[in-house]
Structure 1
Amino acid sequence: MISVCIVTLNTRKYLKRCLDSLPKAFGSLNFEIIIIDNASNDDTVDLIKECYPNVVYLKNNKNLGYTIPMNQAISIAKGDYILQLNPDTELDANSISIQIEYMEKNQDVGICIPKIIDGNGDFQKSSRRGVPTPWATISYFLGLSRLLSENVFFTKYRLEHLDENTICEVDAVSGSCMLIKREVIDQIGMLDEKFFAYQEDSDFCFRAKKANWKILYNPASKITHFTGKGGSKTFPILSLFEWHRSYYYLYKKHLSNNYSKIFNLLYAFIMIIKLLISTSIYLLKR
């Protein structure tokens, strides 16, 4: 059985599309659905009661971010596979059964993700990732990886130089549709709750890879992710802060020992400046 774990916040319309697409995505496979609601006020609870009575639905009293609620779902999941899924996704027919079949045939693959496109049909480059070293991250922030997408020197984070239609092993994948073998969680534990939201998926993948599990991008199937509809826009300033904080915490946890204390302070300063610029741009656009 596969356990579908979803964290939602005021995404009633998109959540319905997501849930309606699940049966065809699994084919003949058995699955359960667990939804953790971060105190939505858009009548999500009525939707679940009326249309999806078999869904396991738990509602928190406040917004706990992404990582804590996802761990809530994982902790009660019964499946041999865990599918972390964003509520603003829509799955193609057999998109998950194809991934399960591949993972069953490749026992050393612990985490897999299908091809993810956005609402316009464009490939979401951030769904597969390399290691976010300072240079890789800065190249991404400055747009160099987009402008020089064929040059691996500038594309080490989002891996733009790789063919989006070719299966490949990567360092990390997005949690928007991340399929995980239960054995991986049993071995390395659940998500690190110091990540309020963002980059908890990369951290989990890095830990899995250190435990000798392979992480695969497998475009044999695809899903659509309507980016930004999953609740992050409900608290935009908080989302901006946590996005930048998570990038730095990931760096501090996995990469900072490779650099001097002076460089680490400089990198923290760069992240603060980036946060201030992003926040200012957002406020000016309001």
Structure 2
Amino acid sequence: MSHAIGTVIVTYRCRELALACLASIEQHLPDLLPSTVVVDNASFDGTPEAVRAAFPSVRVIEHRRNLGFAAGVNRGIEALPGAEVIALVNPDAELLDDGLIAAAAYLREHPGVGVLGGRVLNRDGSIQPSARAFPSHRHALFNRHSLLTRLFPRNRWSRQYLLTDWDHADIRPVDWVSGAFMIIHRRALDAVGAFDPGYFFSIEDVDFCRRVHDAGLEVHYFPDAAIRHRIGGSSRRAVFRAMAGHHRGMWRYYRKHFRTNPLLDAVTAAAIGARFAIHAASYTLRTARNAALRRPNP
């Protein structure tokens, strides 16, 4: 049954994390390795060679330049034409069980569902908010990283967006699920096509789930398949590029799904630009402070 499931892992400069991810697949679902594809986005850190040496049954696709996450996913899906169900697993994640088998069975038994999102846990075992409501202008002020959410984590709007009022213990329909652990039935790809390669990093999962909804299929959260996810395992190697990609993705998503009039467009573009500037400045200051703390006293 597992050979009807394919797995796609897109890597960028995270060799040891990718090997640990594959080791978790070998531990919980060893029969899945021959239908696993690693797409390396120009890591140049020995990732392809290490994967081939440690897991010879895994197919490795090498890109000579970094095409971004969405394009990497598409290349991996293309390499699995016989897979009925395709699981996207981040290289900085590790499977915690064999729940992909149950997830594939659930998708077969529920033809109105196109995508599942598994349970995603932080390293300490706490729930990582990986299923959320679709973003809106209001959510720009109450997303996971916003100042208002950090200062007032129990406010109603943040809870509505992040779905934190729910213990994530049951299967339920949601708006979108994280690409860190997304389980896709072939019917969703047939209905909406591939991931949009115009998203370099981040927001491509939101866009894909929105298109799945628009096609009349549902997205469900499925807690019976779980991973442990180390956020930023790949993006920490190119923080500013990832940060810029995320904010460009926000603008692309807005233009595709929300644009209404020139004034609102201008305000939204300015807000996204300001958000990027604040995040970049905050990261720069934090990095400089940490470096100063690590510097030995004369």
Q: Displacement of 1:24 after TM fit?
A: 4.5
Q: Displacement of 1:51 after TM fit?
A: 1.3
8 A contact 1:4–1:31 mirrored in 2: no
8 A contact 1:27–1:97 mirrored in 2: no
Please list, as runs of the form range in 1=range in 2, the aligned pairs for 1:248-259 lying within 5 A after superposition: 248-257=251-260
Q: For residue 184 of structure 2, what is the aligned residue in structure 1? A: 180
Q: For residue 233 of structure 1, what is the aligned residue in structure 2? A: 236
Please list, as runs of the form range in 1=range in 2, the aligned pairs for 1:10-159 lying within 5 A after superposition: 10-26=13-29, 32-78=35-81, 79-125=83-129, 127-140=130-143, 141-145=145-149, 152-159=156-163
Q: For residue 198 of structure 1, what is the aligned residue in structure 2? A: 202
Tell me which moved more, 41-50 or 24-33: 24-33
Q: For residue 279 of structure 1, what is the aligned residue in structure 2? A: 280
Secondary structure at the aligned position of 1:84 is classed as strand
Q: Report the AA paired with residue 198 of structure 1.
A: S
Q: For residue 226 of structure 2, what is the aligned residue in structure 1? A: 222
Alignment CA distance shift 1:184-1:91 (3 Å): same
8 A contact 2:34–2:58 mirrored in 1: no
8 A contact 2:114–2:185 mirrored in 1: yes
Secondary structure at the aligned position of 2:162 is classed as coil
Q: Displacement of 1:102 after TM fit?
A: 1.8
TM-score with structure 2 setting the length: 0.88
Q: Distance in 1 between matches of 2:100 and 2:28?
A: 5
8 A contact 2:39–2:75 mirrored in 1: yes
Q: Report the AA paired with residue 185 of structure 2.
A: K
Secondary structure at the aligned position of 1:120 is classed as coil
8 A contact 2:25–2:33 mirrored in 1: no
Q: For residue 296 of structure 2, what is the aligned residue in structure 1? A: none
Alignment CA distance shift 1:151-1:235 (3 Å): closer
8 A contact 2:5–2:104 mirrored in 1: no
TM-score with structure 1 setting the length: 0.92
Q: Report the AA paired with residue 210 of structure 1.
A: D
Secondary structure at the aligned position of 1:110 is classed as strand
**Root mean square deviation of aligned Cα:** 1.9
Q: Displacement of 1:264 after TM fit?
A: 2.1
Tell me which moved more, 70-79 or 207-216: 70-79
Q: Deviations over 1:156-175 (max 9, x none)?
A: 32222223223221111000
Q: Deviations over 1:210-238 (max 9, x none)?
A: 11111001112321011111x21221111
Q: Distance in 1 between matches of 2:215 and 2:28?
A: 29
Tell me which moved more, 3-12 or 137-146: 137-146
Q: Distance in 2 between matches of 1:265 and 1:251?
A: 12
Q: Report the AA paired with residue 187 of structure 2.
A: E
Q: Deviations over 1:57-81 (max 9, x none)?
A: 1111121111111111111213111
Q: Displacement of 1:148 after TM fit?
A: 5.2
Q: Report the AA paired with residue 100 of structure 1.
A: A
Q: Report the AA paired with residue 273 of structure 1.
A: A
Q: Distance in 1 between matches of 2:265 and 2:203?
A: 19
Unaligned runs of 5+ in 2: 288-298
Alignment CA distance shift 1:232-1:29 (3 Å): closer
Secondary structure at the aligned position of 1:157 is classed as helix
Q: Distance in 1 between matches of 2:282 and 2:31?
A: 48
Q: Displacement of 1:138 after TM fit?
A: 1.5
